[in-house]
Structure 1
Amino acid sequence: MSVLIDKRNTDYDRLTSVARADAFLDDTERVAAEVDHTLVADRSKVNRFTGHLTELRVAGAPAFGARGQATAATPDTGYIAQAKDYVASVAEAIGFAAGEPVEFAADPNVTTTSEGMRVVSLQQMLNGIEVWAMAPKVWLFQDGTVDRVIGDTVSAPADLPTKPVVPAEVALRVAAAKAAEPRTLRGAFGDDELPRLDVSDGFERLSHQPLNDQPMTFSKGPFEEAIPARLVYLYMGDDYRLTWMFTLSRENLAAQYHAFVEADARTKDTNAPEILYFYDTVSHAIAGHVFQRNPGESTLDKVPFPLPTTGYPTQVPSGLPTGFPLAWAERHNGKVSTEGNNVRALNGTTRRPFEVGVDAAGNGDFNPAKDSPEQFVTNIFYFCNYMHDYFMMLGFTEDQGNFQTTNVTGLGMGADPVRAFAHPGPVSGTANMATRADGLEAVMNMGLVSGTGRHTADDGDVVFHEFCHGVSNRLVGGLFDANGLREEQSVAMGEGWGDYFALTTRNFSSPQERVVLGNWVVNRSQGIRQRPYDSEYPGTFGDIGKGAGEVSGAGNRDLTYQEVHDVGEIWCASLMEVTRKVAAALNDKERGYRVTWQAVVDGMKLTPKNPSFLVARDAILRAFRAMKGGRLTNAEYTSVRHAAWEAFVRFEMGFDAFCPNATFTGCQGGTAMPPAGHED
């Protein structure tokens, strides 16, 4: 994500700016007595920007009780009702004052971890309008008992305006003018130029709501897709603003902008409203017969589509659709193409799939010429389907928001395969992935790297990294909008998760650990990152926000940690160290990898929107704890937990690490192990 405009005062410290803003921390015991169970509030887990607690631990909360268990026909409704009622009952322990409005809407999709934890994603509302970026999650056990409330909320006055003064058409004109500006997309693959667009013809309102304060859609004009618009409250730190929010997509989704334009006309000019927040959501990498790794490490091998489960490093869990892995390619009129249920791989120029004929037995063979447009399409089709099935075996299934046209179980939304474009030549962004809500296609673009003449569709490092953006965006962001990685640390973790899975999926069966990413496609031995991801990786949590010359240690003066890809390296290096140490603790590399992968994926499900590194760390540790007595014996869990904490401590994410929020400001490293008796 690239932020182009941000008028929020993200340095605002509500705890020092508002009298007794932290008084709720002293009232936890009173609220606990009212709800008749234990609440644990840690003063170090307050977002100083919002002044609210980001984690409330719970013990002894009631199960479903009088409401009754969720029924088989509507398995999520009971958990959603339980979560919303519970948050309302403990709101004063989170930071809301008595009498303040406490209003939440719920993502209708309840996520389930591999160990059966239910996760309800909430969105704070006020006067029926979304309060932007305030989206906690509630963790529940299968019987409805709440385990934890985690994520951001904020107190807001009930008398905020509800009706826009600025018409939507006027606000859109301002947002579209900004989105239409030329822009240079900078990355390790080289710079790409987005040209200026002509928006002089304006935009037609496609949905004709009678009132100007309802969600609506406008024609796409020169943009790639129709433009949705809705009202949201934007918390500014020392202020609250009613804004119009628009999503504007450039060609091939090389950039997809979220624009927040004032709707309350504080500028006093309703014809020239101000943009308050504007950012690009697309994750840009700066960083048949297919190359199963890249042309430098493998040849064009004939591989079955779909790949059998024995071709994956994961184990096949129970509960997957009968016949898994399901067909990748579809047959039509005696042909088979690279359009399937999971992935629609297309030539970026013709927008057509690669088709081949089938024989009398129905067999087809995608056998394109090397370095041809058809070969690039076939390769991206293979890599994306591989990752689809890999993550499905780790719990990114139909009911958890995966990418499929048709969900054979009838769960989830469907109609959202990955639309993967392999552009024959260079393309703006070179390699990127745009993820939308469950039920809307994700879009991936892979193109030729101008400096090397090598294609990103041929490099598993790049495609795996980008596919993982879709997974983390949906599992952390929630299926309702898949947009939960917006703050700086959150975006950085999206990059780190992508690097981690791109590397560890290879390292599982490799005798030599791979610690460099993207070296083939850029033809550079050190790859596209600052340092190799080995155990000596120098960056730590305490280095976040530091520029050149500020990172301590001999030979580290050229390192910088002020940009999301660079900071993401710290997250990836930490997860790789967790994997090494867990494997060593279990004295079993394969099992160590599998257990850690599962904890990382389950941790994404548990992680609330806009997390810091420390919030995501705690979610992974909680995912390990859920394996105790099941996937791990009690003794194994003790060893694994200690190993994971050691790895986080190595990267200064110890028990005493601190950050005031999820920006790059104020990160303080810590190297303390948790105290005896502490439960993750």
Structure 2
Amino acid sequence: MTDMIDKRDKGYDRFAGDVAEPGKVNRFTGHLNELRVSGAPSIAGLAPDGGEDVPDAVYIAHAKAYVASAAGAMGFAADEPAEFEADPSLTTTSEGMRVVSLQQVLNGIEVWGMSPKVWLHRDGTVDRVVGDTASVPADLPASPVVPAESALRVAAAKAAEARTLHTAFGDDELPGLDVSAGFARVSYQPSSDQPMTFSKGAFEEAVPARLVYLNMGEEIRLCWLFTFSRENFVAQYRAFVEADGRTKDPDAPEILYFYDTVRHAVAGRVFRRNPAESGYDLADFPLPSADYPTTVPSTGLPTGFPLPWLDFVNGTVSTVGNNVAAVNARDRKPFEIPLDVTGSGVFSPAENTPEQFVTNIFFFCNYMHDFFMMLGFTEEHGNFQTKNVTGKGRGADPVLAFAHPGAVTGTANMATRADGQAAVMNMGMVTGTGNHTANDADVVFHEFTHGVTNRLVGGLFDADALNEDQSVAMGEGWGDYFALTTRNFSQPEERTVTGSWVVKRPGGIRQRPYDTRYPGTFGDIGKGPGEVAGAGNADLSYQEVHDVGEIWCATLMELTRKVCAALDDKQRGYRVSWQAVVDGLKLTPKNPSFLVARDAILRALRALRGGTLTPAEYTAVRLAAWEAFARFGMGFDAFSPNASFVGCHGGTAMPPAGSED
């Protein structure tokens, strides 16, 4: 965050130099910022283990009642109002602690920045109250003297100024904007804080406004709060403009606080694919959306996407953020760096060190988080995030990524639990090569995709949806498919082997390359060595899930090639194929067979007709998809009695003319 105007007296000390519980009191507000509780009552009728059926509202009401009773201990005088509103949804830790988020208000108007949290045990007993509160006089004005339009004019002029952005990659110039045309009010809600929205004018999006109280130090001021987004969200300004008319000129109000919320200059040195395919180079944290092979959809994503990867704490950042918490598995600590006075910093550990492994796994997991989010694996569909900014889904479930300094059981793995419970990824050193899986996108992308498919197949709250043999095999195939195609999108030569760098073997970790000649088909499932037809196939086996998963990946790779050819556009072909596969996951029921998942992809393609695809394009793409499935024995006449490896019969027939998928 970069402060550009700050007229608050941040040196103001309500204790005038007296020592008062160092570390527990915010001397600017004069209140405790942590109140540890002993002997607080539980919720009447709740057992010590609480209960899963207790409504959030019960915990919220109990938390608010406790804060009201403890207002004096927190710092409120007897005649000072201590009013709070609560977030309607709880956060629950993995240990079962309930967390109620509060916002201090007066006259129905937010006291900015005063947002404590109440920690409650399962039975409702309050453990502590953490976060800032402030004393506010009961007689503060609640109605603005300065019209919102006057305050907006002053703030917009500041937000429109030319500015130099200092980044780790050099300086960028942000040009000035012409805001002389003004802004029209487009919405208004008749509530105490008078929320309203103005047209975007020269900015990136519409300008929201509302009243807030701002603690200046010795006094509290009523302000208009505006948010201005510059082009492509390279800067997003918060402007607090006086609303109480202290300057005596309502047409020229004073800006009291103005800052940029965007962190411009945090980057990291990473291998974007692996040490054989990419250099150890700087990358933005987060990456701009233009660095992805996908495109940002017009709807469905939070404002300002891609969202921050990092949490800024006391002048530092670490490999712990909203999407991913990456740590050294040996000491469970992230890699942390300080920020300079401009808020800039670079993760730049030496190669092949624990810190470098942690940084690389953090980068890879965040990359895949944003990649899949653009394809529809969003908060409401159970993605991995600590806090869901849209309020949809459950949150509290980032990817916990452990970079092991040495080998790890299974070499690499990903455990996925239901929405609201963190996923766990482990990456380690490959015995025999000394290469670390945290440095290989093939491996991390494959494992991350397991989390996506486990969450999407079968339903939002069921991360245990791929258990039957064919289902498990497809999980492996989906992982290889996304690991390879995310690279191939922008490369002239298609890569068809996976894991070759990490095992130091040109053929990679699978039986055969995923090229157009890949020999296995649906009808080969269940066959052992010597049973797969064709010269040179005596060594092939399709009796284990990773091997059978190769058939599914080879099919999806062929589907993507054929869709690219049908559209005569490689980039569109990849994007259409990815979208159909992800949409297909959402349509796929628990424990599917290959044929069930095939039908879901075909149905997802049909949904793109008339939108992403013209009717003529859809006809060509549908034919291409069926040709790919038929090529690998999943034609219209293929048969599978269930999702096991028993009784699979391949077929190469195309669907009858006029049939729907």
Tell me the TM-score range normalised by the shorter chain: 0.5 to 0.7
Q: Secondary structure of the residue that 1:345 maps to in structure 2?
A: strand
Q: Which residue of 2 aligns with 1:633?
A: 614
Letter in 1 for 2:417: R
User: Whole-Å Cα distance in 1 between the matches of residues 458 and 496 of structure 2?
Assistant: 28
Partner of 2:544 in structure 1?
Answer: 563
> What corresponds to 1:343 in structure 2?
324
TM-score, normalised by the number of residues in structure 1: 0.58
> Distance in 2 between the 1:657 and 1:679 partners?
17
Pick aligned residue for 2:361 from 375, 380, 383: 380
Which of the pair has the greater relative contact order for Cα pairs under 8 Å at 6+ separation? 1
What are the superposed Cα offsets for residues 22-60 of structure 1, whole Å, 9 maximum, x if unpaired? xxxxxxxxxxxxxxxxxxxxxxxxxxxxxxxxxxxxxxx
Q: 2:375 aligns with which of 390, 394, 400?
A: 394
Residue 519 of structure 2: aligned partner: 538
Match of 1:219 in 2: none
Q: How does 1:187-226 map to 2 (within 5 A)?
A: 207=49
Matched position secondary structure for 1:492: helix
What do the CA deviations read for 1:439-470 (whole angstroms, capped 9, x no partner)? 00000000000110000000000000000000
Q: Is 1:314 the counterpart of 2:294 in the alignment?
A: yes
Q: Separation in 1 of the partners of 2:595 and 2:502?
A: 33
Q: How far has the Cα of 1:226 moved from its partner?
A: 8.7
The number of residues matched between the two structures is: 402
Partner AA of 1:360 in structure 2: V
Q: CA deviation at 1:206?
A: 8.8
Alignment partner of 1:593 is 2:571: no
Structure 2 CA distance, aligned partners of 1:666 and 1:564? Answer: 16
Structure 2 counterparts to residues 144-183 of structure 1, below 5 A: none
1:468 pairs with 427, 446, 449, which one? Answer: 449
* Offset of residue 430 of structure 1: 1.4
Alignment partner, residue 590 of structure 2: 609
**Counterpart among 637, 643, 652 of residue 633 in structure 2:** 652
Structure 1 residue 428, shift from structure 2 partner: 1.5
Deviation digits for residues 383-411 of structure 1 (CA, Å, limit 9, x no counterpart): 00000000000000011110000011111
Task: Give the residue type in structure 2 aligned to 1:580.
Answer: R
Which residue does the alignment assign to 1:500? 481
Q: Deviations over 1:568-588 (max 9, x none)?
A: 000000000000000000000
Give 2:432's match in structure 1, choosing from 429, 451, 454.
451
Q: Say whether the 8 Å CA contact 2:403–2:428 is kept in structure 1.
A: yes
Given candidates 526, 546, 554, the residue that maps to 2:507 is: 526
Q: Give me the TM-score of the superposition, normalised by structure 2.
A: 0.60
1:665 alignment partner AA: V
Give 1:481 shift: 2.4
Do the aligned partners of residues 556 and 427 (structure 1) sit closer, same or farther apart at CA in structure 2, a change above 3 Å counting?
A: same
CA distance in 1, matches of 2:95, 2:379: 27
| Secondary structure in 2 matching 1:443 | strand
Pair 1:353-2:334 in alignment: yes
Q: Which of these residues, 364, 371, 376, is aligned with residue 352 of structure 2?
A: 371
**Residue 604 of structure 2 aligns to which amino acid in structure 1?**
A
Picking from 556, 563, 585, the partner of 1:582 is 563
**Equivalent-residue separation in structure 2 for 1:379 and 1:550 (angstroms):** 42
Among 505, 520, 529, the alignment partner of 1:548 is 529
Rounded to whole Å, the distance in 2 between the matches of 1:346 and 1:546 is: 42
Q: Deviations over 1:522-581 (max 9, x none)?
A: 000000000000000000000000001100100001000000000000000000000000
Q: Taking structure 1 as reference, are residues 426 and 637 closer, same or farther at Cα in structure 2, changes over 3 Å only?
A: same
Q: Which residue of 1 aligns with 2:121?
A: none
- Inter-partner Cα distance in structure 2 for 1:556 and 1:206: 62
Letter in 2 for 1:577: E
Mapped to 2, the partners of 1:480 and 1:463 lie a distance apart of 23
Distance 2:312 2:578 in 1: 34
1:226 and 1:332 map into 2 onto residues whose CA distance is: 24
SS at match of 1:502: helix
Is the Cα–Cα contact under 8 Å of residues 499 and 508 in structure 2 kept in the other structure? yes
Deviation at 1:629, TM superposition (A): 1.0
Q: Distance in 1 between matches of 2:650 and 2:523?
A: 4
Q: Which amino acid aligns with 2:292?
A: Y
Sort the Cα spacing of 1:595 and 1:426 in 2 relative to 1 into closer, same or farther, 3 A: same
Q: Secondary structure of the equivalent of 2:583?
A: helix
Secondary structure of 1:419's aligned partner: strand
Letter paired with 1:454:
N
- 2:413 is paired with a residue whose SS is strand
Bigger Rg over Cα: 2
Q: Does 1:295 align with 2:275?
A: yes
Alpha-carbon separation, structure 2, partners of 1:638 and 1:334: 56
CA distance in 2 between counterparts of 1:521 and 1:207 reads 46
- Correspondent of 2:386 among 397, 400, 405: 405
Report the alpha carbon displacement of residue 208 of structure 1 after superposing the two structures with TM: 9.1
* C-alpha distance in structure 2 between counterparts of 1:208 and 1:433, whole Å: 30
Amino acid at match of 2:594: F
What does the per-residue CA deviation read over 1:131-169, in whole Å, with 9 as the maximum and x for residues that have no partner? xxxxxxxxxxxxxxxxxxxxxxxxxxxxxxxxxxxxxxx
CA distance in 2, matches of 1:206, 1:615: 45
- d(CA) in 2 for partners of 1:664 and 1:556? 19
Amino acid aligned to 1:328: W
Q: Cα distance, 1:207 vs. partner?
A: 5.0
Which amino acid in 1 is paired with 2:389? V
Identity of aligned residues (%): 74
Matched, 1:431 2:407: no
Counterpart contact for 2:382–2:461, Cα < 8 Å: no
Distance 2:604 2:521 in 1: 23
Match of 1:140 in 2: none
Aligned Cα root-mean-square deviation (Å): 1.6
Picking from 627, 650, 659, the partner of 1:669 is 650
Distance in structure 2 (CA, Å) of the matches to 1:626 and 1:323: 27
> Could you tell me how far apart the structure 2 residues matched to 1:482 and 1:380 are?
22
Q: Tell me how far apart the structure 1 counterparts of residues 522 and 435 of structure 2 sit (CA, whole Å).
A: 34
